[in-house]
Amino acid sequence: MPIVTAAEPWWKGACLYQIYPRSFNDSSGNGIGDLNGILEKLDYIADLGVDGIWISPFFLSPMKDFGYDVSDHTAVDPLFGDLNDFKNLVSACHQRNLKVIIDQVYSHTSDQHEWFKQSRLSKDNPYSDWYIWADAKADGSAPSNWQSVFSGPAWTWDNRRKQYYLHNFLTNQPDLNLHNPDVQEAIFDVAKFWLELGVDGFRLDAINYGMHNIELFDNPPNPLADKLTARPYTMQQQSNNMSHQDMPMFLEKFRQVLEQFDEVFTVAEVGGNEPTAVMKSYISANNKLSTAYSFDFLTMQNVSGLNLQKILQPWDTKDDEHWPSWAFSNHDVPRVLSRWSNGQESPIKAKLFQTLLISLRGNIFLYQCEELGMRQASLPFHLLQDPEGIANWPDSMGRDGARTPMPWDHAKPNFDFTNTVPWLPADFASASAADSVSAQVDDEYSVLNYTKALIRLRKQSSALKYGEFHFIECATDVVIIKRIYRQEELLCVFNFSAQEQAVNPLLFEKSAQLISNFPDITFYQSVPGNYAGIFICQ
C-alpha cells in the first residue's frame, strides 16, 4: 500500500479527536474535567493515532451554556485551569506530534462579557454598535419574528437601552454585530492571541449565525415543519438571521490574518437545512477556510445508502477547492451508535459505523468515547444540566446524554473520571464495564483497538486520505464505495441491514489480496449482516 507523502497540508484528510473538557478527565477533584486532566491522558490520545485534538471551550464563562457563552475570549476559566496550564498542554501535544485545535465563538458572547456590558449602557458609546440592537415595533413587539434555536423569541428587551437585542441562542448569549469593522478587528486580535500561544487552528462555532439581514425582515414559514414535533425555531426558514451573503467576505479577511502564521487549520460549523452551498461558500484552498462540516450526519436518524448518497454526492471528487469534513457524533447530538442502531446497539455496529467514517473523503472528527462504542445516556429530567434539554423537555432529551464523563476504569468509582461527585453521572445508562477504556485496551477485538487499526490504515493510505470518492453500489442496505488515488484503489463495503446481503463477486476480482497488515478490519463479519470490509484493488 502506498505511504502517504507530505505533499499535502497536514490537515488534509486528518482525523481529529474532539475533547469536551468538562467530561474528559478531572485532575483537580472538583467533579469537572480540566486542562491538566487532558494533559494526563495525552498518551492515550496519541496512542489512538489521531492527528490532533479539538478542545471545546475552556474560556472564562458564567457557564449558562457550558462555555459557549464566553465572557473573556483570552482567559481560561478557573474551572479548567489557567493560561500556563494551556501553554503546557500545547507544548505536550506538540511533543507527541498532536496538533491543537480550539473552539472560537465569534457569533455571540455571554451577556457578562465586558463588550456587552459597555454596549448596553447607551446608544452612543464606543461599544454601542458591537451587538444587534433594534427598536421595538410601534406596538412594543420584537423587531422581527425570529426565533431562538433553544426556545422562544430571538429578541429580548433591555430596559437600560430601551431596545431589543438579538440572541440566536440563550437570552444570556447576545449576538455580536460582525457587520461592524471594529468587532471584526477585535475578533482578529483574539485569533492572533491564541495563535501566538501555539494553537494550530480553530473550529468556528455556529459561524453562519455571525451576520444577519440588517433590514430585519421576518423569516418565512417552513412548509416542511412537522407541527406535532416542531418548536417555533423549526417552523421558520432561517433566511434572514443566518448565512448572510457577506460572511464569505469576512472569512476572506480572517484568512488574511491567519496567513501571518504557519498553515493554520480552520473548520466552520454550519447549521441549517440546506448547508452544502453555505459550506462551499466558506471554503477555499486559497482565500477562505480550510473546510467546514454540517449537521447532516449528526442529525441523521438512520443510516442507509440513500441517505449517504444525498449527503455525499454534492461533494465533487475532483473538487479540491472545497474540502469537506464529517462527524457522526459530538457534544450537541445523541451518540451515533444509539441513533443508527434502532435500539440494537452493539460493538459490531460501532465498528461498522467507525469503518464508514474512516472511508469518507475529507477530514473526520472522532468525538470522545466514540472510539469505545459508547451509547447515549438517557438521563431523567431532574439530572439534566443542559438548558436546551430543560427548555424543550420532553420533545428533546437534550445534550447531556452525549456529555456524560469518559469511562476510564470500570473497577473504580465514577469510572475513574473524578474522585468526587461528577458534574453529570459517570455511570449512568451510557457507561458499563464493557464501555470503559480499562476493559477494552487489552482486548484485541474491542471497539477501541478496532478504531486504532482503522486510524492507522487511514494514515497509511493515500486513497483514504486524499483519494476520489465513488459510489459503486448505493442501495438501501448495501453500500460499496471506491476510493482512488493515483495507482491505489480501495473498495469499502457496508451492509446496514440485519440480514446477509448478496454482493456481485465481479466487484472483487481485483481484490484477491486483502490488506494483510490489518486482518481485523479488512472484512468484519461475526454475525449475519452488519459487516464492513476494506479491500485493496490490484
Identify the structural domains of the chain with CATH numbers, from first to last: 15-109+181-454 (3.20.20.80), 468-536 (2.60.40)
3-state secondary structure 218-262: CCCECCCCCCCCCCHHHHECCCCCCCCCCHHHHHHHHHHHHCCCC
Number of neighbours of residue 222 by Cβ within 10 angstroms: 16
Supply 259's cell numbers: 496567513
Q: Is 103 a catalytic residue?
A: no
Ramachandran area for residue 161 (φ above 0: left; ψ -120 to 50: alpha; else beta): alpha
pLDDT at residue 519 greater than cutoff 50: no
Q: In this predicted structure, what is the pLDDT of residue 238?
A: 94
Supply 275's cell numbers: 448547508
Contact 230, 267 (CB under 8 A): no
Contact 73, 23 (CB under 8 A): no
Give percent of the chain with pLDDT exceeding 90.
76
Q: In this predicted structure, what is the pLDDT of residue 406?
A: 97
57 versus 502: which is more confidently predicted? 57
154 versus 430: which is more confidently predicted? 154
Q: In this predicted structure, what is the pLDDT of residue 501?
A: 75
pLDDT in tens, 477-488: 889 899 999 988
pLDDT at residue 2 greater than cutoff 70: no
Instruction: Please report how many Cα atoms fall inside a 13 Å half-sphere around the Cα of residue 523, on the Cβ side.
Output: 11
- Active-site entry in 26, 200, 269, 370: 269
pLDDT band at 217 (very low <50, low <70, confident <90, very high): very high
Q: In this predicted structure, what is the pLDDT of residue 532?
A: 64
Q: In this predicted structure, what is the pLDDT of residue 510?
A: 55
74 phi/psi in degrees, rounded to 5: -115, 20
| Site of grid cell 485493496 | 536
Q: In this predicted structure, what is the pLDDT of residue 80?
A: 98
- Active-site entry in 26, 111, 205, 427: 205
Q: In this predicted structure, what is the pLDDT of residue 129?
A: 98
pLDDT at residue 273 greater than cutoff 70: yes
Least confident of 40-44, 192-196, 449-453, 486-490: 486-490
Contact 474, 500 (CB under 8 A): no
Average pLDDT of the residues in 328-351: 93
pLDDT in tens, 422-472: 999 987 767 778 889 999 999 998 999 999 999 999 999 999 999 999 999
Q: Is 345 a catalytic residue?
A: no
Rounded to the nearest angstrom, the gap between the alpha carbon of residue 168 and the centroid of all alpha carbons in its chain is 19
Least confident of 43-52, 195-204, 414-423, 508-517: 508-517
Q: In this predicted structure, what is the pLDDT of residue 478?
A: 87
Q: In this predicted structure, what is the pLDDT of residue 119?
A: 98
The two most distant CA atoms of the chain are separated, in Å, by 75
Q: Which residues contact residue 185 at a Cβ distance below 8 angstroms, ignoring those fewer than 6 apart?
A: none
